[in-house]
């Protein structure tokens, strides 16, 4: 195996570790917000390592850039969906009275 292959193997293992840790967190953490926290680690860092591993094997710059673009899009969508789920959970907690007020105030929201 060449140095490039060893680097890919290392990066893939690192990505796999973050996916494993994120999945364990998703299954074991007690509430939605902490589960989101662990899930975004898998989405962002885990996928980042996997994309880096594949990009250095891509051969052409165009394919490598496409892979990086996929990672950036995944970053964007994971950040936005985590925000949306988190906001929903916070509003529910306020409705149930388990916290006084949501740290992020969203005026006239009726999404619940």
Partner 1 sequence: MTPEFVLDLMIGLALVVVAWAALHSSELFRGVIFYIVFGMLIALGWVRLGSPDIALAEAAIGAGLTGALLLDAVRQMGYGPTRVESTPLRVAAAVVGFCVTGMLVWAVLTLPHAPGGLTVDVLAAMDRSGVAHPVTAVLLNFRGYDTWLELGVLLIAMLSILALRRRWSLAGGSPPAAEPLLGAALSLLLAPALLVAIYLLALGAYGPGGAFQAGAVAGAMGVLWYLAGNRSVAALGGVSMRLLCMGGLLAFWVAAVGGMAAGGRMLQLPPGWAYAVLLVVEVTVTVSIAVILAALFVGARPLPDGRG
The answer to whether the CB of 52 falls within 8 A of the CB of 13 is no
4 near partner 1 (CB under 8 A): no
Determine the Cα–Cα distance for residues 11 and 65; give it in Å rounded to an integer.
17
27, two tokens:
């299954």
Range list of H helices, the chain: 3-28, 32-41, 47-55, 61-96
- Nearest CB to partner 1, comparing residues 16 and 87: 87
- Nearest CB to partner 1, comparing residues 3 and 96: 96
31 near partner 1 (CB under 8 A): no
- Nearest CB to partner 1, comparing residues 3 and 105: 105
Work out how close the CB of 46 gets to partner 1 at its nearest, in angstroms, rounded to a whole number: 17
Determine the Cα–Cα distance for residues 58 and 66; give it in Å rounded to an integer.
10
Determine the Cα–Cα distance for residues 31 and 55; give it in Å rounded to an integer.
35
13 near partner 1 (CB under 8 A): no
Of the residues 77, 96, 98, 105, which one makes contact with partner 1 according to CB under 8 A: 77
108 near partner 1 (CB under 8 A): yes
Q: Which residues bind partner 1 (CB under 8 A)?
A: 73, 76-77, 79-80, 83-84, 87, 108-111
């Amino acid at each position: 195996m060449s140095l490039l292959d060893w680097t890919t193997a290392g990066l893939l293992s690192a990505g796999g570790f973050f996916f494993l840790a994120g999945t364990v967190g998703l299954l074991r953490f007690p509430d939605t917000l902490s589960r989101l926290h662990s899930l975004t680690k898998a989405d962002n860092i885990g996928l980042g390592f996997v994309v880096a591993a594949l990009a250095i094997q891509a051969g052409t710059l165009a394919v490598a850039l496409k892979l990086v673009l996929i990672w950036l899009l995944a970053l964007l969508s994971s950040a936005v969906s985590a925000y949306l789920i988190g906001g929903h959970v916070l509003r529910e907690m306020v409705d149930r009275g388990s916290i006084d007020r949501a740290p992020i105030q969203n005026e006239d929201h009726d999404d619940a």
